[in-house]
Amino acid sequence: MIFFGSLLRSPHPYSEYSSFRALLHVAIERLCQRYKLALSLAVCLCLAAPVHASHPDILLETKIPKVSVATDTKAAANKVTADKPNDDSDAIDTPYNEDTLTIENVKNINGLAPASLWQPELSEPSLYALLDAEFAADRDDKRRAVSIYKQQSFKEDATAVFERALSLSLRNERVEDSLQFAKTWQDQNPDHVPAWFYVAHLALRAHDYILAGETLNRILRYDPRADLSEILIGIYPNNDDDKRELLAALQPLDSEQNASLSVLKAGLLYQFNEPEVAIVHINRALERQPDYVPFITLKADILRKIVTAETVINYVSQARLRNPDSKSLYLYEIRYLLDLKQSEQAWKLLLEAHSRFSDDSEITLLAALVSLDIEEYASADELLNMLAKSPAYLDQAYYYLGISAERQQLFDQAKYYLNGVMQEDLVLEARRKVVAFELLDNDVDGAIATLEKLRKDFTVFAPDTFVMQADILWQQNESDEALRLLTRAARKYPDNEMLLFARAQLLDDKEDYVVKRTLLNHLQALDPSNLSYQLSYAQLLLANERSSEQGLALATAIIQIRYDDPRYDNDLHLQALNVLAGNALVKENYQQVIDYLQTPYDVLPTLRSGTLLLRAYQGLGNNDKVEALLADLQQRFSFGQRNINDRIQLY
């Protein structure tokens, strides 16, 4: 079964040709003795002339021609009988025909003498056809190569040819086509056991679970302990219906002695929330391979559904002690402890793992992050400085050293590290923090300079930097300059939705109504499912028409999205509540404002929600609530009554 695994994993091209090369070697030795001159001519022709054929790949019904040598010399010198192609493309596709050819007329067929002309038909694979196929594959004519190999694989003693044909088919055809070819070949060669494995694997990949079950059953009857691991690579279904079909196909199979099959059943049963049955199958697998880590971790996953967390931890710990060099078991236990919010225990185990796997950067980084999480900053900094010695982890180390310094309020140190981050997936967030530190110091010029440098160094983030710079200008009461900046940026990046939306946000709902509505309609056409665009459009409509049914419907639809819906966004939900509450306030429906916002404010207070609530209680004349809420706003946001009133945006 060694070749089966290598075939499915598509190894280095030269290694998969080994059996094929051996076949060629034997054939060449034999043919050199019988047809030394003819072989030399054929090889020279194959090397010298390009292959123009391009055959459609119809399984086992290829257009690869069969050529017979003329035995009558006189007739061969004067006559060629051939079926004429219907059109020019067919003529190119078929460089030679199935009837008798003469050397005189070969030059009239694509200028290439077919290799088969020089030998009689053989019951075994034709060396010349295989050479033709290899040259076709080398010239990227994959369809021709696959077709030739498939045809030749059905001759006698063609196991190696079949395996090469299947390898090419897997790379260049649909899995269903490969399955049909393998099944047909296996039917013709019923005693070739490796073909059973190929068919079983391809049937699973093609979701033909009936055929897969039948083939697996045949394999298990032949060898109950057969290694099925290669068959099961990459076949796990993605949807529940396929998983149920696969489980139904596997259930009748006796897997008691087969670890691979037992673990597959266990995994499926676990996903269908049948842990009590799943544990039986995973235990059978572990009886065969008690220290195989994937089996151990699957059993731990199953145990998490039926026993206490302490029992699971004890099980994994014991397995880890039996396998002290298993990094995976350390990580499993650590992550489970983190899931249980047992950060201190996870941290201690991480330090132990770091001591054992001192050269493992992944362990070092995870230990540093947990150290940050539990505020063990000295440990975090030590680990991150060790990590910074690895070029591959330098940027991550600098990023988290910056986070550590920020949490310790060492802002200059934080800026130093964050400015050193150059990894593309971290640099934007790192510079965003640097800008925040500079604004904290009232260094507006420094913040803008940071953005301009980022824009120069990473053009991919130019739109982000323009939006951030416009926000800084807006905070400095330079709204007109911010709008001009975004307008110029939008001309440079006309298809960037982020820039268009930021520009729309700066436009006044009433004075710029037509332009803003045009922009938002354009954005919604580009992304109809974007809730931010919908909410901004709802706010625009309600600002210009308090009773706009479309505006109310859009905002209401957003607050009705459940928290377990993938579309749910907490910030967007609160913004929609504020829009609806603001509209109710303008209509003097004060109780409605309170119904919208009181609970959200109690859970997550914001200045916008608080000011709307304050105005609602003022409208109701509830002075006790007004005084209590005003004191809370002053304490939370350091604003007085005048500041709060100035912040309220009414429609």
pLDDT digits (tens, 9 = 90+) for 279-322: 999 998 898 889 989 899 999 999 999 999 999 999 999 999 99
DSSP conformational letter for 101: B
Q: For 315-379, what is the HEC assignment?
A: HHHHHHHHCCCCHHHHHHHHHHHHHCCCHHHHHHHHHHHHHHCCCCHHHHHHHHHHHHHCCCHHH
Would you state the pLDDT for residue 518? 95
User: How far apart, in whole angstroms, are the C-alpha atoms of residue 523 and residue 502?
Assistant: 11
639: pLDDT confidence band, cut at 50, 70 and 90? low
Span 443-459, average pLDDT: 96
Would you state the pLDDT for residue 459? 95
Q: Hunting for tokens 């054939």 — which residue is that?
A: 27
Give pLDDT tens digits for 157-168: 888 888 888 888
How long, in residues, is the chain?
651
Give the residue, 199 or 453, on which the prediction is more confident: 453
User: How far apart, in whole angstroms, are the C-alpha atoms of residue 437 and residue 431?
Assistant: 10
- Residue 605 pLDDT > 80, yes or no? yes
Span 113-122, average pLDDT: 42
User: Does residue 609 contact residue 629 with C-beta atoms inside 8 Å?
Assistant: no
User: How far apart, in whole angstroms, are the C-alpha atoms of residue 275 and residue 268?
Assistant: 10
DSSP assignment string, 502-558: HHHHHS-TTTTHHHHHHHHHHHHHH-TT-HHHHHHHHHHHHHH-TT-HHHHHHHHHH
User: How far apart, in whole angstroms, are the C-alpha atoms of residue 308 and residue 515?
Assistant: 61
Q: Which of 55-69, 387-401, 463-477, 580-594 has the lowest mean pLDDT?
A: 55-69
Helices and strands, counts by H and E, the chain: 37, 0
Give pLDDT tens digits for 505-523: 999 999 999 999 999 999 9
Give the residue, 206 or 572, on which the prediction is more confident: 572
Q: Which of 23-32, 35-44, 270-279, 358-367 has the lowest mean pLDDT?
A: 35-44
Q: Which of 244-253, 275-284, 422-431, 635-644 has the lowest mean pLDDT?
A: 635-644
Would you state the pLDDT for residue 34? 38
Would you state the pLDDT for residue 232? 67
Per the rule left: phi > 0, alpha: psi between -120 and 50, beta: everything else, 579 is alpha
Structure tokens at 314: 């004890």
Q: Hunting for tokens 């030795």 — which residue is that?
A: 29
In a 13 Å sphere around the CA of 461, the CA atoms on its Cβ side amount to 23
Structure tokens at 484: 């001009």
2: pLDDT confidence band, cut at 50, 70 and 90? very low
Would you state the pLDDT for residue 435? 97
Cα of 205 vs its chain's centroid, Å: 18
Q: Which of 215-219, 467-471, 548-552 has the lowest mean pLDDT?
A: 215-219
Tell me the percentage of the chain whose pLDDT exceeds 90: 51
Q: Is the dihedral of CA 412, 415, 419, 423 positive or negative?
A: positive
Would you state the pLDDT for residue 69? 30
Would you state the pLDDT for residue 122? 56
**What letters, b where the CB count within 10 A reaches 16 and e where it falls short, cover 549-565?**
eebbebbeebbebeeee
Would you state the pLDDT for residue 238? 74
Q: How many CB atoms lie within 10 A of CB 642?
A: 8
- Residue 103 pLDDT > 50, yes or no? no
- Residue 264 pLDDT > 60, yes or no? yes
- Residue 74 pLDDT > 80, yes or no? no
User: How far apart, in whole angstroms, are the C-alpha atoms of residue 27 and residue 39?
Assistant: 11
- Specify the DSSP element, H or E, that contains 454: helix 444-457
- Residue 176 pLDDT > 60, yes or no? yes
Give the residue, 218 or 383, on which the prediction is more confident: 383
- Residue 87 pLDDT > 90, yes or no? no
Of residues 20, 28, 22, 26, the one with CA closest to residue 160: 20
Q: How many CB atoms lie within 10 A of CB 213?
A: 21
47: pLDDT confidence band, cut at 50, 70 and 90? very low
- Residue 641 pLDDT > 90, yes or no? no
- Residue 647 pLDDT > 80, yes or no? no
Record the pTM. Answer: 0.65
Span 206-235, average pLDDT: 77
Q: Which of 143-147, 178-182, 232-236, 407-411 has the lowest mean pLDDT?
A: 232-236
Give the residue, 599 or 129, on which the prediction is more confident: 599
Would you state the pLDDT for residue 344? 94
Work out the mean pLDDT of the chain and round it to a whole number: 80
Give pLDDT tens digits for 316-353: 999 999 999 999 999 999 999 999 999 999 999 999 99
Would you state the pLDDT for residue 229? 67
Would you state the pLDDT for residue 115? 38
Give pLDDT tens digits for 523-544: 999 999 999 999 999 999 999 9
Q: Which of 5-14, 339-348, 574-583, 622-631 has the lowest mean pLDDT?
A: 5-14
User: How far apart, in whole angstroms, are the C-alpha atoms of residue 494 and residue 503?
Assistant: 12
Would you state the pLDDT for residue 42? 34
Terminal-to-terminal C-alpha distance of the chain: 75
Would you state the pLDDT for residue 22? 52
- Residue 195 pLDDT > 70, yes or no? yes
456: pLDDT confidence band, cut at 50, 70 and 90? very high
Structure tokens at 327: 């990094």
Structure tokens at 309: 């967390």
Q: Which of 238-242, 355-359, 453-457 has the lowest mean pLDDT?
A: 238-242
Span 558-584, average pLDDT: 93
